[in-house]
Amino acid sequence: MSCYVEPSINCISEAWQQFTSKTPNNNQVYDFSVRSEILDSWTRCRDAGVKPNDACIHLQLDSISLRVMLRENRELINIAKPFMTNLYEVVEGSGFVVVLTDRRGYIMELFGDEDALTNPMTVSFFRGASWCESQVGTNAIGTALVIKKPIQVSGSEHYCLEHHSLTCSAAPILDTQGQVLGILDVSGAATAAHLHTLGMVVAAAEAIMAQISIQKKNNELSVMNNRLTNIFNTMSDGVILVDKQGVISELNPVAKQILGSGLNRVEVRPGILVESILGARNTLIEKILKRKEPCAEMELMLETGNGLSHCLASGETVTDAQGAVTGGVIILRPIKQIQSLVNRFSGHYGTLQFSDIIGGSKALLEAVRVASLAAASMSNVLLQGESGTGKEIFAQAIHNRSNRQAGPFIAVNCGAIPRELIGSELFGYAEGAFTGAKRGGKPGKFELACGGTLFLDEIGDMPLEQQVALLRVLQERRVMRIGCDKVIPVDVRVICATNKCLMTEVEKGTFRKDLYYRLDVISITIPPLRERSDDIVALFNYFLDKQDKHCRRFVVNPEVIERIVRYDWPGNVRELQNVVERIVSLTEGQVVTLANLPQEICNCKATTTHSRERLQFPASNIVESFCRREQRRRVLDENEKQEILELLYNHGGNVSMTARDMGVSRNTLYRKMKQHAIYKELKCKVEQVSL
């Protein structure tokens, strides 16, 4: 059984002399009693042109480059210093130096005796000095950089004769990806060489790498903690963290805002029981801390220093690795935010403006003027008019002109809801209030309209028993859900509409007098269409253009205009819109004739006062005006058609160039070509030219 025997100093010295004295031969195989790492290093040094017998000139960083290196490696230096100090305490007074280099082999930090910089053996160890192989030959620092492994180089193992008096023990400091960050080295007299020195250096390097890893983890944890803290503080929901006893450990600014001063004006802060905020009867804490059950969307109404706080609460248990409860997380969502989200996605918003009200009659303009003034106030508005006159358009226009335009617009038809359900629809109900009630209860339309407008259409059809509750809400601005004893404040503007004369209903005893006067703060009467003869043709043309999806550009015969002006329109604007939709659907081609009108309009006679008035001079003016407008439109259409044909012919049918000359998009030009049936005429024109 054989064992490895460390070669003697004389053997290594002889090997070095033989290696450095022979002429380099790449094919030569050496039979030296030298470690392979040393022999490989000698070969690299010889190939790099290092002179073994000449005095080594250590490459030295200038002052600026040295400062840059120290700044870039400050973290590594700070981590390594304590371990270098411990190493130096072991070798202090022996002439050894403890050295730290960067990844290139430049010395960044060193510890040594007072004479280290004057001692001939260690004089070359100073900040900024290079110890890479290509500069100073084989040495522990430079060779460890190449092989990325710990190594001890003693005496004649150094490639340069100048360093044969040294023994160096070095170990690389690697990052988590295995890349070299620097080298830790202990160097001294070769006569004091000891194998244990390398062991100490390796242990110190591993300790430094462990500390670097810990530092990196701490930095990552710090970054993650900062991110979580930012998320925690900027969440739109309130968050409360509690320990296993239910004591608040942390809460974010939104939670403080939601809770205000807390129950009984207790200061909301870490260190107090969450029950003092949420109330002792609340089951949320018991569920998440004692039963380990998640709790979702529990409705809370808390009396705080800022008034009643209405929110939804959810809770989750926090456990350790063994499953033991360590605390809980409570999420508070303001009910207004949820209602706003629901309203946005359920279509509870107003889209119509005063500009959507078509007409120029004196009565209509007066109604628009009063409605515009009413939009600037918070007063209740009562819209009166026959069915189909556009009361909801006025309601939406008032809402969108007011300072509540960002809030919801919720419309309720009081005549379409069964009388036994209208209370729960308007005011909401609590869980278990009646058979079939939803679990958790349901907010009413007054709650959902908070911050916006509630439009009560057909208010004259509201049952008497619910009129009392509505009056109380309008007076107190608070609602109480059916089956619940908690009062909820509501910030709602109410606009009502009716096609009945409410004063007549008051006299009949079907509508409360006190409610009527509460609603009739600003009364707006919308005139029926039969009293707006000047607006009939304007509305007819507006609906005709709106319904014409295929841009057929209808031509309307004058007798059609005469019939629609003569008709009384009992269904008002809604009926006119339906008639226009019928015309668009049933008209073949582009010409609208009497055959396209409903029979009752074609056969109508001027029986009413308004009809007879419209058949006199004003009606003839309307028809003549309409005919003139139609004639002008036909001339403009023909001119446009000829312009397109001429440009297309000049550009050889190139649509892009034609559209550019006209200043329109390609899609617009294609639509106009289809509208004027240009393809066929252009083809005929080209054929005539070719002939």
Q: Does residue 667 belong to any structural domain of this protein?
A: no
pLDDT tens for 385-422 read: 999 999 999 999 999 999 888 888 989 998 888 888 88
Q: To the nearest whole number, what is the mean pLDDT of the chain?
A: 83
pLDDT tens for 434-473 read: 766 677 678 888 888 888 899 999 999 888 888 988 999 9
What is the mean pLDDT of the segment spanning 35-62? 88
**Do 466 and 366 belong to one domain?**
yes
The pLDDT assigned to 187 comes to 93
**Do 497 and 474 belong to one domain?**
yes
**Do 134 and 213 belong to one domain?**
yes
The total of other beta-carbon atoms located within 10 Å of residue 201's CB is: 25
CATH for 376:
3.40.50.300
**Do 500 and 609 belong to one domain?**
no
Q: Which residue has the higher pLDDT, 374 or 438?
A: 374
What is the mean pLDDT of the segment spanning 204-210? 95
**Do 549 and 536 belong to one domain?**
yes
- Counting residues of the chain whose pLDDT is more than 70, the rounded percentage is 85
Distance CA(7)–CA(464), nearest Å, equals 114
CATH for 149:
3.30.450.40
Q: Does residue 652 belong to any structural domain of this protein?
A: no
Nearest of 394, 416, 396 to residue 405 by alpha carbon: 396
CB 447 within 8 A of CB 338: no
Q: Does residue 630 belong to any structural domain of this protein?
A: no
CATH for 593:
1.10.8.60
Q: Mean pLDDT check: name the lowest of 39-53, 211-225, 531-545.
A: 531-545
**Do 363 and 480 belong to one domain?**
yes
**Do 599 and 463 belong to one domain?**
no
pLDDT tens for 587-641 read: 887 788 888 888 888 877 654 444 444 444 344 454 555 555 555 566 666 777 8
**Do 449 and 563 belong to one domain?**
no
Q: Does residue 223 belong to any structural domain of this protein?
A: no
**According to DSSP H, which parts of 189-334 are helical?**
195-234, 253-259, 275-278, 284-285
Question: What does each C-alpha distance from 657 to 125, 594, 678 come to in angstroms?
Answer: 79, 43, 16
Q: Does residue 691 belong to any structural domain of this protein?
A: no
**According to DSSP H, which parts of 119-160 are helical?**
133-136, 140-147
- pTM over 0.75? The answer is no
**According to DSSP H, which parts of 548-654 are helical?**
558-566, 572-586, 599-602, 609-615, 617-650
* DSSP label at residue 529: G
Q: Which residue has the higher pLDDT, 144 or 654?
A: 144
The last residue of a domain, from among 506, 525, 544:
525
The last residue of a domain, from among 510, 525, 540:
525
The residue range of the domain holding 411 is 347-525
pLDDT confidence of 499, banded at 50, 70, 90?
very high
Q: How many domains does the chain have?
A: 4
**Do 327 and 385 belong to one domain?**
no
The pLDDT assigned to 440 comes to 66
The last residue of a domain, from among 559, 592, 615:
615
Q: Does residue 642 belong to any structural domain of this protein?
A: no
Pairing status of strand 591-592 against strand 442-443: unpaired
- For residue 26, is pLDDT > 60? no
The pLDDT assigned to 684 comes to 54
- For residue 4, is pLDDT > 50? no
**Do 242 and 208 belong to one domain?**
no
**Do 260 and 275 belong to one domain?**
yes
**Do 492 and 440 belong to one domain?**
yes
